[in-house]
Structure 1
Amino acid sequence: MIAYLARRLGQAVLILFGVSVITFALLYLLPADPVRQIAGRSATPETVANIRRELGLDQPFLVQYGRYLAGLLQGDLGRSYLQRSEVSELIAARLPASLLLMAGAIACELVFGLTMGLIAAVKRGSALDQGLMVASFVGVSAPQFVVGLLLLYVFAVRLGWFPIGGYGSWRHLVLPSVTLGILGAGWYARMMRSSMLDVLRQDYVRTARAKGLSRAVVLLRHALPNAILPVIAMVGIDIGLFMSGIVVVESVFGWPGIGQLAWQAIQRVDIPIIMGVTLVSACAIVLGNLLADTLAPFIDPRIKLQ
């Protein structure tokens, strides 16, 4: 286990290094000029040149990246161009809200997706099965901002069950969590149905039925732990997907997380914040996949870490 974790952590470092290089290069080639955002439209060429020199943006790419990487190795994500604050402090202030929203979304997609997939597999070929699969297809296909606006209109504006936006109570969490969870629920429902159908054809399931075990015991104790393994692997990937989709959802619902911070930074070409959020998202993807791979052998002892 220790050797496996050490090898995976080494791979994670290389992945994060690659992400930092690619992201920094793309931002370096970006047509928009962050100095103009800082100086303002009425700034003189001398003022623009002074700001560019002060920030080190007049240096070649390798010099700029080398300086950024040296700070990154010391835990320094840089300083925001416009907010004049440390990027690490800005992200740390917003991260708890994003993690809370992510946890709520994962809970929603697992509850809805696994339930739909299990019912569809048990009722294979029925109208209920077909209806659930159509619903899962719609959930996968629907844009998140459209889903979010529809949920806001129905449950916040028309029915008044939940607040329109903001942060602070469980009622603020419900609609954005469901909006994020609907996409994953659709995938999980289809995956769970397919995996459960494969498991139900296995010999040990037929043996359990032949022993006279109840249908619920066969499904929950024997079939579900094996059918759920592909879903566990998907949860780790979903953490990264949430980090990308969370930008839209947080903007729609006014949720004060790192997604909203990233959106504001993109609009203002605040490169240090964009880099910081990208690296934090990449870390979440890597750690999520590592966690999923590590938990798999505890659920199914036949799986060996290599």
Structure 2
Amino acid sequence: MNTSTETRPKPRLRAGTVRRVGARVAALLASLLIALSMAFLLGRLSGDPTATILGPMAPEEQRVQLRHELGLDRPLIVQYLDYLKGVVTGDLGQSLQFYQPNTTMIMDRLPFTLQLVAGGMGLAILIGVPLGVLAARREGTWWDRAASTLALLGQSVPVFWFGMMLVVLFAVKLGWLPAGQSGTPRHLVLPALTMSVYPMAQIARLTRASMSEALAEPYIDSARARGIAPLRVVWRHAFKNAMMPILTIVVLQTGILLSGAVAVEYVYSWPGLGQLALQAIQFRDFPLVQAIVVFGALTFVLLNLLVDVIHSIVDPRVR
């Protein structure tokens, strides 16, 4: 009897988990559909790409023929359904500017953007987490005020302005680092530093708030009363319990950096997805713009799912 009684709640627990995962996946799919629909509509509202492809002096007959070849003369709902069908089947179309499959172009540029995101997020974590922990340990002191001021500046300074100032100082005035392009680790330093500023500020502020709450818990006083070393109390006990929101913001900021590196790549002429997106927008290459948006939206959805998985692994209460 005892055994059967203990095992009864397990099916209900599994059913609750399945419902939670199903609801989360449904919400993410709805967000993905909204993002894809906005990309489609904004691409169609950006203007007629035939004027850019053929030039302003091309006769109207050639434009009509090109619109027919591109399928732009079909009803909008038909174009939308074909667009969604291509997304589902993995066919992201062909670029109007480069005459290459959009998937191939994205895969060619993706490694450069990943280098930039990895470098920027690595710096953000290495600086932001210790800065937030220091501010929480010295709450109310000038260390806390200095760390909070730096975090506020990091969130307030425009990324493109900060990047240009770094170029002026370290590339033009001092000549220590290249001003742009890619190729060697030295080329990555300034773009990664520029990329790290905003997420570093976010991570530092959230770490400070989470650690302040954790350090005020009774188990911290108990650990100190047992004579445990202060650093061990901070990193082994407090940080372990405060790391859940920090992991969340790190994963989400990674997705934001991956899909929003346009300004940094433009300032440093970095050949990544952001630079490719700018070229596509300037040429009104809406199939390529849509493909980049699809890739960014899928990446963000997958990272949100990754956050849920991390929560389930790190925090048993979620399970």
Question: What TM-score does the superposition give when structure 2 sets the normalisation length?
Answer: 0.90
Q: Aligned with 2:222: secondary structure? A: helix
Q: Distance in 1 between matches of 2:314 and 2:178?
A: 39
Q: Is the 8 A contact 1:94 1:256 kept in 2?
A: yes
Q: Name 2:266's counterpart in structure 1.
A: 251
Q: Name 2:203's counterpart in structure 1.
A: 188
* Deviation for aligned residue 1:236: 2.5
Q: Is the 8 A contact 1:28 1:61 kept in 2?
A: no
* Deviation for aligned residue 1:240: 3.2
List aligned pairs for 1:16-27, cutoff 5 A.
Answer: 16-27=32-43
Q: Name 1:55's counterpart in structure 2.
A: 70
Q: Is the 8 A contact 1:239 1:284 kept in 2?
A: no
* Residue 116 (str. 1) matches residue 131 (str. 2): yes
* Residue 145 (str. 1) matches residue 190 (str. 2): no
User: Which deviates the most, 159-168 or 113-122?
Assistant: 159-168
Aligned partner of 1:133 among 129, 143, 148: 148
Aligned partner of 1:90 among 89, 105, 113: 105
* Deviation for aligned residue 1:13: 3.5
* Deviation for aligned residue 1:159: 2.2
List aligned pairs for 1:38-49, cutoff 5 A.
Answer: 38-49=53-64
Q: Distance in 2 between matches of 1:205 and 1:129?
A: 20
List aligned pairs for 1:1-40, cutoff 5 A.
Answer: 3=18, 8-30=24-46, 32-40=47-55
- Counterpart of 2:176, as a letter, is W
Q: Name 2:219's counterpart in structure 1.
A: 204
Q: Aligned with 2:260: secondary structure? A: helix
**Total equivalences in the alignment:** 303
- Counterpart of 1:145, as a letter, is F
Q: Distance in 2 between matches of 1:206 and 1:300?
A: 22
Q: Name 1:217's counterpart in structure 2.
A: 232
* Residue 227 (str. 1) matches residue 242 (str. 2): yes
* Deviation for aligned residue 1:56: 0.7
User: Which deviates the most, 208-217 or 118-127?
Assistant: 118-127
Q: Is the 8 A contact 2:106 2:273 kept in 1?
A: yes
Aligned partner of 2:177 among 139, 146, 162: 162
- Counterpart of 2:43, as a letter, is L
Q: Name 1:241's counterpart in structure 2.
A: 256
Q: Is the 8 A contact 1:236 1:288 kept in 2?
A: yes
Over alpha carbons, which structure has the higher Rg?
2
* Deviation for aligned residue 1:209: 0.5
Q: Name 2:280's counterpart in structure 1.
A: 265
* Deviation for aligned residue 1:229: 1.3
Which ranges in structure 1 are unaligned for 5 or more consecutive residues? none
Q: Distance in 1 between matches of 2:85 and 2:259?
A: 27
User: Percent of aligned pairs with the same residue?
Assistant: 38
- Counterpart of 2:272, as a letter, is G
Q: Is the 8 A contact 1:235 1:292 kept in 2?
A: no
Which ranges in structure 2 are unaligned for 5 or more consecutive residues? 1-13
- Counterpart of 2:86, as a letter, is G
* Deviation for aligned residue 1:155: 1.7
List aligned pairs for 1:267-282, cutoff 5 A.
Answer: 267-282=282-297
Q: Distance in 2 between matches of 1:205 and 1:16?
A: 42
Q: Distance in 2 between matches of 1:270 and 1:179?
A: 28
Which of structure 1's runs of 4+ aligned residues deviate more than 4 A? Answer: 1-11
Aligned partner of 1:295 among 310, 314, 317: 310
Q: Deviations over 1:34-82 (max 9, x none)?
A: 1101111221111111111110111121011122222222210001111
Q: Deviations over 1:83-120 (max 9, x none)?
A: 11110011010011111211111111111111111111
Aligned Cα RMSD in Å?
A: 1.8
Q: Name 1:70's counterpart in structure 2.
A: 85
Question: What TM-score does the superposition give when structure 1 sets the normalisation length?
Answer: 0.94
Q: Deviations over 1:162-187 (max 9, x none)?
A: 21111122211121111111111111
- Counterpart of 2:65, as a letter, is N
Q: Distance in 1 between matches of 2:293 and 2:318?
A: 32
- Counterpart of 1:197, as a letter, is S
- Counterpart of 2:60, as a letter, is P
